[in-house]
Structure 1
Amino acid sequence: MTFKDLELSEELLRALTERDYEQPTPIQKQAIPYVLMNRDLLGCAQTGTGKTASFVLPMLDILEQGRARMRMPRSLILEPTRELAAQVAENFDLYGKYHNLTKALLIGGVTFNEQDKLLDRGVDVLIATPGRLMDHFERGNVLLNDVKILVIDEADRMLDMGFIPDVDKIVSKIPPMRQTLMFSATMPKEIKKLADRFLSNPKEVTVSPPSATADTVTQQFVKLSTRQKRSTLRSILEDDSVRNALIFCNRKRDVSEVHQTLERHGFQAGSLHGDMDQFSRTATLEKFKKDEIKYLVCSDVAARGLDIEAMSHVINFDVPTHAEDYVHRIGRTGRAGRQGHAITFVTSEERKYLDAVQDLAKGSISEIKLDTIQRKEIESTEEKSHQAHGRGKVRSKPKALETRSEKTNLPPTEAKFRHSDQTAIQKSEQKKSHKQSNEEVVGFGDDIPAFLMPATKA
């Protein structure tokens, strides 16, 4: 089947051909015909399946006829995050280049005045996050009684982020005689209940989730304690095989703390979290894409919709509490046939979440021992010491490491961490001479208040 078989307009087919898109994805094959028939639709599909185009393409053709009035959009697309909203807006620009339609993007981090001007001109397509749309509505800047098509995207994320009360208010202000499309990566009971409230006799389409066991991604986990996470992260990032990395934390607070500790230790790092304004978020992403920063610490919500090529590593600083999020996270490496690596930190409290992830990944995540990583840290420290004191060239990779890697065919990341038994002795000696190491203070990691540090003799 081709896009032409879906009876899309010549303008759309021309735009698709220019992007070298010829065959629709499974979700597009199933959804587009029903959307063109003005049916309500409940779609279960994850990011990366072509879901966005499954509603953008038919909407462009449907909205081609008609004209928007001032502050009265003809269609509304609700997204949970700014990045996803911006991504949908880009899709309308790409595929709608030969359509004469207007759009507006209502997200935080942009002044109300700029957005008001767009609304005053009248927009065919309004793309918004629930919070910013409610702000505009309460200011009297937008009316929703002319909306003919409503799209509620990433409904499960809306639920997780607490946006459903706002979505309820928004839907109540839209005429019941409308076409409603709802998409969700998962379909729990709560989403089914929402569908019963918002949709009328919907057609249901489902696309199987992508496999978490991509052949191009080497997946590993390491067991450790909470206070060992930061030092272990730094050890991994110092390895030459880590060209760049996305580092996922479950909590916004941890995103900031991990970012700060990486910067204090000289790593080129940035972060994405919900409290950043749009300008700062966009600037951080641009720096990351241009390799001005190598490591990006983020949460699942903040990273939703990110599309960055040539990502060498994904590091789960925390095990995701939802197994499906693991699929989203590691799917950002190993793309386009490239080799990728995913490493997950697991504490005893997180073991139950790893079990769920292993079930989804069909047991394809292998364990890497913590002492393997710690030995690599000692080796790296010694090499840097030699460089700093001008003691000749940095030592090449130990012969024992090369031999063991070749003999056992270990995964690339683990093989690089292997070292000789002699380093274990060196590690023991270092511990003896550093009994007051910062990392030994429980609860503070490498952030030690001055008053807890031992007094030094004059």
Structure 2
Amino acid sequence: MSGTTDLTDTFSGLGLSSKVTDAVAEAGYTKPTEIQAQAIPHLLQKKDLIGIAQTGTGKTASFVLPMLTLLESGRARARMPRTLILEPTRELAAQVSENFEKYGKNSRLTMALIIGGVSFEDQNKKLDRGVDVLIATPGRLLDQIERGKIMLNGVEILVIDEADRMLDMGFIDDIEKIVNRLPPRRQTMLFSATMDGQIEKLTKKFLKDPVHVQVSRAASTADTIDQKLVKVSSKPDEKRAALRSLIDASEGLTNAIIFCNRKRDVATLARSLERHKYSAGALHGDMDQKSRMETLDAFKTNKLTLLVASDVAARGLDIPAVSHVFNFDVPVHAEDYVHRIGRTGRAGRSGVAYTMVAPADGKHLDAILNLIQKPIEWLETGKSSAPQAANEEAPAAEEKPKRGRRGRANTRPVETKAEEKPVQKPAAASRPAPTRPAKRNDDVVESNSPFGDDGPIPAFLLRPTRLAQ
């Protein structure tokens, strides 16, 4: 029993071909990760498999390495790929192709990448010659199928990667259309970060007697990452100003990834940073493939200091030396927090992760704290030039002024001042005007309101009229 354990502690003990293990050794890897050690032996036996694992656990290599070994016998035919790997995003597809190039360097296997933003002509040339491995996003693959450029009846191995993301992005119908074109006798692998009811339906529909492999969820964060929470206003311009102050005050910042929840905010924030003379670029789903790859390359080669990205666009990015991560928005899904801050503090390096918390983010922040099961410190006011830095002892007392500011500055003068002071003089504002006096001012304004005690005077009624002027 101990001998088996010792064998699976090395790649050569997993049953991979010498060509593959030599390439793995040249890449600098000596010991398989947990999911690789569990999944590879089953896949080499051509069993269907369900793998539950987060990005960053070595999941890609767990299906790439056995696939390379299995494909060493046989040859591809024109327009009939032997294997098909489905990915939800262009970036993930491109990253899987990089894995094939790295680990398949000793094999004479051909590969094609079918994604949007790349000319059909270039893709068609490869397909016409025949490819062993086809890596594709669902939409672009269906386009090529409808054009008659791809036939899937020769596929021996199917991989559905990031299945949970596929569902989130609405690809379920496309996947069913694609799978219905595949031969029934094939090996199928499905990988996902989560296993919910919809994923179970997929597995029952597409897999036969699958082996289940699950590695511990990435619910813990690395000790090498210094995590901080920062209280900010929900007003976009003030929130962007707070980010700039954080960036300016961050010691040892060499580069950083800034995460937004929505792709439209990614573009807006990147343009704002550029206007303020920061070296910044955007990475989001509406960009064409050429622009996305150029932006990524510029960031990897340090031509760009700041990369503003959405979760979908940044999924699977492997950039070893990122000094800082800024969560401009608190992620909606708690697991995404672990994924985001895991972009820094890699391979034993130290990293810093700031999360900017607006008044409405309490629910999402609670979910993150419940997931990682450890507290995150609030950045102390006065320690940094970052505005709205929160004090953990009384975060709720500072939320109220922020809720009252949007379009109602005239009705809440005391609260407005309390919020503006930290931007200019953070040290002096660490103890703003006591909460009670501010509340009494609120009561005076609201008790005089013709709209009752529950609502302030609408801002438009406070504007001076022409007659008054």
Q: TM-score, normalised by structure 1?
A: 0.81
Q: 1:419 to 1:339 in 2, by over 3 A?
A: farther
Q: 1:364 to 1:374 in 2, by over 3 A?
A: closer
Q: Does 1:367 align with 2:378?
A: yes
How much does 1:22 deviate?
Answer: 2.0
Segments ≥4 residues shifted beyond 6 Å: 422-425
Q: 182, 193, 196: which one pairs with 2:201?
A: 193
How much does 1:223 deviate?
Answer: 2.3
Q: 289, 295, 298: which one pairs with 1:278?
A: 289
Match of 2:72 in 1: 64
Q: How many positions carry a matched residue from both structures?
A: 386
For structure 2, the residue ranges without an aligned partner over 5 or more in a row are 1-8, 389-423, 433-469
Question: For 1:129-176, what per-residue CA distance to the aligned partner results, in whole angstroms no more than 9, with x for missing partners?
Answer: 111101101111100011010000000110111111111110011011
Q: Secondary structure at the match of 1:200?
A: coil
Question: For 1:56-107, what per-residue CA distance to the aligned partner results, in whole angstroms no more than 9, with x for missing partners?
Answer: 1111111111111110111100011111111111111111111121111111
How much does 1:236 deviate?
Answer: 0.7
In 2: Cα distance, 1:12 partner to 1:419 partner: 57
Q: Does 1:343 align with 2:354?
A: yes
Q: Is the 8 A contact 1:213 1:364 kept in 2?
A: no
Q: 225, 229, 241: which one pairs with 1:221?
A: 229
In 2: Cα distance, 1:243 partner to 1:36 partner: 43
* Equivalent AA in structure 1 for residue 272 of structure 2: T
Q: Secondary structure at the match of 2:205?
A: helix
| Larger CA deviation: 303-312 vs 152-161 | 303-312
In 2: Cα distance, 1:364 partner to 1:196 partner: 39
Residues 4-153 of structure 1 mapped to structure 2, 5 A cutoff = 4-153=12-161
Q: Is the 8 A contact 2:337 2:368 kept in 1?
A: yes
How much does 1:13 deviate?
Answer: 1.7
| Larger CA deviation: 9-18 vs 103-112 | 9-18
Match of 2:187 in 1: 179
Residues 269-348 of structure 1 mapped to structure 2, 5 A cutoff = 269-348=280-359
In 2: Cα distance, 1:131 partner to 1:376 partner: 43
* Equivalent AA in structure 1 for residue 207 of structure 2: L
Q: Is the 8 A contact 1:375 1:424 kept in 2?
A: no
Q: 1:287 to 1:84 in 2, by over 3 A?
A: same
Instruction: Report sequence identity in percent.
Output: 59
In 2: Cα distance, 1:103 partner to 1:376 partner: 48
Q: Is the 8 A contact 2:246 2:385 kept in 1?
A: no
In 2: Cα distance, 1:179 partner to 1:351 partner: 44
In 1: Cα distance, 2:25 partner to 2:425 partner: 49
In 2: Cα distance, 1:20 partner to 1:418 partner: 50
In 2: Cα distance, 1:304 partner to 1:376 partner: 28
Question: For 1:406-431, what per-residue CA distance to the aligned partner results, in whole angstroms no more than 9, with x for missing partners?
Answer: xxxxxxxxxxx997549999xxxxxx
In 1: Cα distance, 2:72 partner to 2:384 partner: 61
Q: Secondary structure at the match of 2:249?
A: coil
- Give the RMSD, CA atoms, in angstroms: 2.0
* Equivalent AA in structure 1 for residue 248 of structure 2: E
Q: Is the 8 A contact 2:246 2:384 kept in 1?
A: no
Q: Does 1:236 align with 2:246?
A: yes
In 1: Cα distance, 2:126 partner to 2:100 partner: 16
In 1: Cα distance, 2:214 partner to 2:360 partner: 34
How much does 1:211 deviate?
Answer: 4.3
In 2: Cα distance, 1:3 partner to 1:307 partner: 21
Q: Is the 8 A contact 2:54 2:193 kept in 1?
A: yes
* Equivalent AA in structure 1 for residue 127 of structure 2: L
Match of 2:268 in 1: 257
Q: Is the 8 A contact 1:52 1:88 kept in 2?
A: yes
How much does 1:374 deviate?
Answer: 7.6
How much does 1:17 deviate?
Answer: 1.8
Question: For 1:234-263, what per-residue CA distance to the aligned partner results, in whole angstroms no more than 9, with x for missing partners?
Answer: 101112513221110111111111111111
| Larger CA deviation: 85-94 vs 35-44 | 85-94
Question: For 1:374-409, what per-residue CA distance to the aligned partner results, in whole angstroms no more than 9, with x for missing partners?
Answer: 84579xxxxxxxxxxxxxxxxxxxxxxxxxxxxxxx
Q: Is the 8 A contact 1:319 1:346 kept in 2?
A: yes
How much does 1:11 deviate?
Answer: 1.1
Question: For 1:188-247, what per-residue CA distance to the aligned partner results, in whole angstroms no more than 9, with x for missing partners?
Answer: 211111111111110000011234331111111122221131111010111251322111
How much does 1:350 deviate?
Answer: 1.4
Match of 1:387 in 2: none
Q: Secondary structure at the match of 1:76?
A: strand
Q: Does 1:207 align with 2:215?
A: yes
For structure 1, the residue ranges without an aligned partner over 5 or more in a row are 379-416, 426-458
How much does 1:361 deviate?
Answer: 1.7
Q: Is the 8 A contact 1:85 1:129 kept in 2?
A: yes
Q: 1:423 to 1:149 in 2, by over 3 A?
A: closer
| Larger CA deviation: 147-156 vs 89-98 | 89-98
Q: Secondary structure at the match of 1:127?
A: strand
In 1: Cα distance, 2:156 partner to 2:429 partner: 72
Q: TM-score, normalised by structure 2?
A: 0.79
In 2: Cα distance, 1:122 partner to 1:160 partner: 32
* Equivalent AA in structure 2 for residue 255 of structure 1: V
